[in-house]
Amino acid sequence: NMSVDFSKNATERPEPCKEQPRGCFPYCCEFFHLDSYKANIYRKSGFFLICSLIHKGVTTGDGSAYLCWHRFLTPDTLPGTALPRICVSSLRYGDALFPVSISHSKPSNFLLFRAITFLNHTMPDFTDNGASNFIKYGNDYYATSETNYISKIDPVTLETLEKYLPVNLASCHPHYDKEGNAYNFGTSIATKGKTKYVLFKVPAVSDKGKKGPALKNVEVICSVPCRSLLMPSYYHSFGMTDNYIIFVEMPFKLDILKMATAYMRGVSWASCLKFCPEENTLIHLVDRKTGKEVETKYYTGAMVLYHHVNAFEDDGHVVFDVIAYTDNSLYDMFYLSNLKEKSQFDEKRFSKPNYKRFALPIHADKVSCGGNMVKLKYTTASAVKEKEGKFMCQAEVLCEGFELPRINYDINGKRHQFVYGNHVAKFDTETKKMVYWGEDKCLPSEPVFIPRPNGESEDDGVVLTSVINSNPGQSSFILILDGKTFKEVARAYVNTELNKDMHGFFIPH
Residue 173 assigned to a binding site: yes
Phi, psi of 323 (to 5 degrees): -105, 115
User: What DSSP character marks residue 150?
Assistant: E
Task: Find, among 451, 452, 449, the residue nearest to 463 by Cα.
Answer: 449
- Return d(Cα 33, Cα 464) in angstroms, integer: 9
Contact 151, 159 (CB under 8 A): no
- Return d(Cα 257, Cα 159) in angstroms, integer: 36
Task: Find, among 94, 80, 78, the residue nearest to 40 by Cα.
Answer: 78
Beta strand 160-165 with 85-87 is parallel
User: What DSSP character marks residue 259?
Assistant: H
SS3 of residue 286 by DSSP: strand
Contact 411, 457 (CB under 8 A): no
- Return d(Cα 52, Cα 39) in angstroms, integer: 6
- Return d(Cα 382, Cα 278) in angstroms, integer: 21
**CB atoms inside a 10 Å sphere around CB 440:** 7
- Return d(Cα 216, Cα 209) in angstroms, integer: 12
The Cα-based distances of 135 to 5, 17, 57, 247 in angstroms read 25, 25, 17, 19
Per-residue HEC secondary structure of 322-383 comes to EEEECCCHHHHCCCHHHHCCCCCCCCCCCCCCEEEEEEEECCCCCCCCCCECCCCCCCCCEE
Residue 363 assigned to a binding site: no
- Return d(Cα 116, Cα 119) in angstroms, integer: 5
**CB atoms inside a 10 Å sphere around CB 342:** 11
- Return d(Cα 232, Cα 195) in angstroms, integer: 7
- Return d(Cα 190, Cα 212) in angstroms, integer: 30
Binding site: residue ranges? 173, 236, 307, 503
Binding site for Fe cation: residue ranges? 173, 236, 307, 503
